[in-house]
Structure 1
Amino acid sequence: MNCWTQLSAMLFAQFTGRDSLRDVVENFNSKKHHHYHLGVQPIKRSTLSDANRDRPVAIFTETFFYLLEKIRGQLGKKDHSEMVRLIDSSTIDLNLKQFAWADFRSTKAGVKIHTVYDPHAKVPVFFEISHAKVNDRKVLEHLPVLPEMTYVFDRAYNDYGWYYMLCQQNTRFVGRMKGNAQYEIIEEKAVNQPNLLHDQVIKLSGLAGKKCPQNLRRITIIREEDGKELTFISNDLKCEAQEIAGLYKSRWQIELFFKWIKQNLKIKQFADRSENAVKIQILVAMVIYYCDWLKLEVRARDLYKGLPSLSV
């Protein structure tokens, strides 16, 4: 089975919501009148299973990034407000008995999807799949870092060496600060908002200070919804504290993205149980997400072109 036939079959499984390989194969083969136009042949269950188990995931990853480049071509030049990236991960739970290779607790199994998300375009610009037990910080070395971009993330990505690298790359970051972080206060800024407790310029001390010798910003607010104190860390020493806190609040958009793909794409039930097959199914789901994005973007552009010009 060649790559195109495998991709076609797995796309078909996503579009039609098939739960098992047998279900995929029987229904795919029943659409023989479409095979000629797709350039595929009827498939066998064993052949598709072998392809899902053995074919390198990298092929499907390349398809993902090929479509990402297509999307970047549609986006055009960005203004400063659009140069924000949200970093987070989400776990997909699996049955431990069926997916023993993915164990991460005594009674659980799962895989984790690590994502860098563009909240303006509403698309992931980086996507990596690992075992659920992999620490989020392990993925930092793979994340793309672009100058003048703003990166927003939670405490799971607390890595002072990485913070310093972001500073050196001329990027801005906003994250949650750990409660046990050691630091000295360099400057106390004026606090003029009712929900703003602290606005400080700090220098990390101890080992953290050796890893990141840069002056940083420490901001503590009271969240209006529940009265909880949140402390942020950033390398932005100039912007208003509320703007920095607002950037962190924008993380809800990547949480909505995770929720949407889990509800609308077939990534919670898997047609095959091997690690390779699970990763392929998730990547194929993301290919569909990108194709839908491109379809909607082209539609919107064509609609805009079709609108009559207005003169005053």
Structure 2
Amino acid sequence: MDLKALFGLGEEERARRSSISDRLSKIDPSYFKEIYEQIYQRFSGVYSKTEIEKYNLIRVDSTIVADACTKLKEGIDQKSGKKLVKFSFSFDGILPSGVEVFTAQKYSSEESALPEAILKQVKKEEYHDNIYVIDRGLQSTRSMKEFDGQSVKFIIRSKDNRKFEEMESFLEPKKPLKWNDWEVLKDSKVKLYTGSPIQNQRGKVHFRQEKVETEFRLVVIKSQKTNKEFWFLTNEFQLSAKEISDYYRKRWDIEVFFRFLKQELNLSHLVSMNRNGIEVMVYMTMIAAMLLLIYKKSNNLG
């Protein structure tokens, strides 16, 4: 992109970083957001149902960009004194379907960032068959209950040995379920527990475990090579245990996408230290990413 043309500079003028940063801080990011959403809606239809799997698998995760020069005006504080910006992306395996920019301190936790990013996308796609695939950063039973209440399907990798009550097992006795080097140890309908804050007479707060009445599904598989267990929680009861495992494995696609954004499109370099400018840059980066991915597909470049 010719920055001189973008910012209306003559050939003899130099595009200083400070000038670019100032200009970005004044551009309306909603303009670029609208362009990004229009491109996504138009070109996501190019891909067949076979290509986007039986369901739209939306991989959701966050990546952070740190301010190396301590000039970021608004960001999540770190112990080092530096600030960082969190980008929570939704990725359908082919194109980036959503992004949220977080700079407030509460979003340092994925328990705050990911549910907000997911529910904002759900509002944009009222009628969908999406399943949201999420890593261990989100473990809140309350968030899972909220997702289920809004008919948001999800597969979350759970922390091992979390507290639950088994309501029903879907495994047949004496018929072990295996594929390749994997064995299903548990496939059950369960109720989960969550911590409720209780304040004692001295004013101190502790948490009491309370059972949530919403029913979820717990799938536990074990690698026969490493003996490592993987726990998955979902509100999807129609898929097989193998499908749930296979769908979660596709979450790795978003990690590859993050590397593409940071290494090839330089997302990790903050041109602007202003939140407005950062939003403009992330939408411009997403537009560029989609155009590149669409070009690769149309030319069979992998």
Q: TM-score, normalised by structure 1?
A: 0.72
In structure 2, give the amino acid aligned to 1:64: Y
Task: State the alpha-carbon separation in 1 of the partners of residues 266 and 19 from structure 2.
Answer: 21
Instruction: Give the structure 2 partner of residue 202 of structure 1.
Output: 190
Task: State the alpha-carbon separation in 2 of the partners of residues 224 and 288 from structure 1.
Answer: 43
In structure 2, give the amino acid aligned to 1:271: V
Instruction: Give the structure 2 partner of residue 136 of structure 1.
Output: 110
Matched residue of 2:2: which SS? helix
**Unpaired segments of 5 or more residues in structure 2?**
197-208
Deviation (angstroms), 1:263: 0.8
Q: Do the aligned partners of residues 29 and 222 (structure 1) sit closer, same or farther apart at CA in structure 2, a change above 3 Å counting? A: farther
Which has the larger share of helix? Answer: 1
Deviations 1:66-97 (A, max 9, x none): 22122234336677624211111111222152
Q: Do the aligned partners of residues 291 and 179 (structure 1) sit closer, same or farther apart at CA in structure 2, a change above 3 Å counting? A: same
Instruction: Give the structure 2 partner of residue 98 of structure 1.
Output: 71
Task: State the alpha-carbon separation in 2 of the partners of residues 90 and 206 from structure 1.
Answer: 27
Contact 2:193 2:211 in 1 (8 A): no
Matched residue of 1:284: which SS? helix
Instruction: Give the structure 1 partner of residue 254 of structure 2.
Output: 254
Q: Do the aligned partners of residues 200 and 268 (structure 1) sit closer, same or farther apart at CA in structure 2, a change above 3 Å counting? A: same
Contact 1:109 1:132 in 2 (8 A): no
Contact 1:198 1:221 in 2 (8 A): yes
Task: State the alpha-carbon separation in 2 of the partners of residues 51 and 159 from structure 1.
Answer: 40
**Unpaired segments of 5 or more residues in structure 1?**
1-10, 14-20, 33-41, 304-312
Which has the larger share of strand? Answer: 2
Instruction: Give the structure 1 partner of residue 89 of structure 2.
Output: 115
Q: Do the aligned partners of residues 49 and 244 (structure 1) sit closer, same or farther apart at CA in structure 2, a change above 3 Å counting? A: closer
Instruction: Give the structure 2 partner of residue 284 of structure 1.
Output: 284
In structure 2, give the amino acid aligned to 1:204: L
- Pick aligned residue for 2:22 from 50, 57, 64: 50
Deviations 1:281-306 (A, max 9, x none): 22211111122233344546xx9xxx
Deviation (angstroms), 1:44: 6.5
Q: Do the aligned partners of residues 255 and 132 (structure 1) sit closer, same or farther apart at CA in structure 2, a change above 3 Å counting? A: farther
Q: Do the aligned partners of residues 224 and 112 (structure 1) sit closer, same or farther apart at CA in structure 2, a change above 3 Å counting? A: farther
Task: State the alpha-carbon separation in 2 of the partners of residues 248 and 160 from structure 1.
Answer: 19
Q: TM-score, normalised by structure 2?
A: 0.74
Task: State the alpha-carbon separation in 2 of the partners of residues 65 and 217 from structure 1.
Answer: 34
Q: Equivalent residues in 2 for 1:149-168 (5 A)?
A: 149-168=130-149
Contact 2:156 2:234 in 1 (8 A): yes
Task: State the alpha-carbon separation in 2 of the partners of residues 238 and 123 from structure 1.
Answer: 26
Say which structure, 1 or 2, has more relative contact order (CA 8 Å, 6+ apart).
2
Instruction: Give the structure 1 partner of residue 200 of structure 2.
Output: none
Matched residue of 1:244: which SS? helix
- Pick aligned residue for 1:83 from 56, 60, 63: 56
Q: Equivalent residues in 2 for 1:262-277 (5 A)?
A: 262-277=262-277
Instruction: Give the structure 2 partner of residue 37 of structure 1.
Output: none
- CA RMSD of the aligned region, Å? 3.4
Task: State the alpha-carbon separation in 2 of the partners of residues 25 and 68 from structure 1.
Answer: 26
Contact 2:55 2:131 in 1 (8 A): no
Contact 2:194 2:211 in 1 (8 A): no
Tell me the number of residue pairs that the alignment of Structure 1 and Structure 2 aligns.
Answer: 269
Task: State the alpha-carbon separation in 2 of the partners of residues 154 and 60 from structure 1.
Answer: 29
Task: State the alpha-carbon separation in 1 of the partners of residues 224 and 265 from structure 2.
Answer: 34
